[in-house]
Amino acid sequence: MKLPPGDKTARWTALRDQVLADVTCRAHVRPGKRVVFGVGSVDARIMFVGEAPGAEEEVQGEPFVGPAGQLLTKMIGAMAMQRSDVYIGNIMNWRPEMPTPPGGVQYGNRPPTEQEMAYCLPYLKAQIEMVNPGLLVALGATATQGLLGAGSFKTLGEVRGRWHEFAGRPLMVTYHPSYILRNPTNRSKRLIWEDLLKVMDRAGLAVSEKQRGYFLEK
């Protein structure tokens, strides 16, 4: 894909406009819904990568704005940052469709197929190259499969909490925030937090003793 010369913001805007106008992306979006593009700082050191838009995301046209997204925002806050300090993107630019009666509402979500992810992945790579973050964080199994390749692992536990590489950048794999929504215990929160501590350390962020002790069971 060709982008005009200019500063990061101008090139990011051109890329976003290209994605939002993409014929294939638009063909997969139901009337009244939106194609979803990444958000955040174009100078972010940390980029979070999710799977695909859900019901709230396809309405607002922004990734991670539903319950899991609100939890991700809190996690970023626990890292002593704001949502606007990082960059948040998805592998998919549209919500994967499920059978729905004409004019009906889609309930539930399904993982994208390999073909769907393959179509959208170049757009994610273009965002990574443009933002040029120091490291990436994959949220959940599907996002991780999209980045590391299908069949690269059987369970997320095999690759979670370890450093990998994507597009020449360090990639940390962790659970999707929805994991905590399903398992709201200190143990589940601590598992993700330990991964984020590694991210903070590698990104050169200051980490207090209080932060290192978050979610330790008493």
The residue type of 190 is R
Lowest-pLDDT range of 8-12, 60-64, 105-109, 190-194: 105-109
For domain 8-96+109-211, say whether CATH 3.40.470.10 is its number. yes
Closest CA to 96 of 111, 117, 78, 114: 111
| pLDDT above 70 as % of the chain | 100
pLDDT (0 to 100) of residue 159: 96
Residue 202 is encoded by which pair of tokens?
Answer: 């590698």
pLDDT (average), residues 136-146:
96
User: So what's the pLDDT on residue 100?
Assistant: 84
Average pLDDT for residues 14-33, to the nearest whole number? 95
Q: What is the pLDDT of residue 135?
A: 98
Which pLDDT band holds residue 10 (cuts at 50, 70, 90)? very high
Please give the radius of gyration of the chain, using alpha carbons only, rounded to the nearest integer. 17
Structure tokens at 90: 């998805």
Stretch 115-143: mean pLDDT, rounded?
A: 97
Q: What is the pLDDT of residues 198-210, one digit of tens each?
A: 999 999 999 999 9
Angle of helix 186-203 relative to helix 67-78, nearest 10 degrees? 50
| Whether the predicted model's global pTM rises above the 0.85 cut | yes
What pLDDT is recorded for position 218? Answer: 57
Query: Average pLDDT of the chain?
Result: 94
Domain boundaries, the chain: 8-96+109-211
pLDDT-derived band of residue 5, with 50, 70 and 90 as boundaries?
A: confident
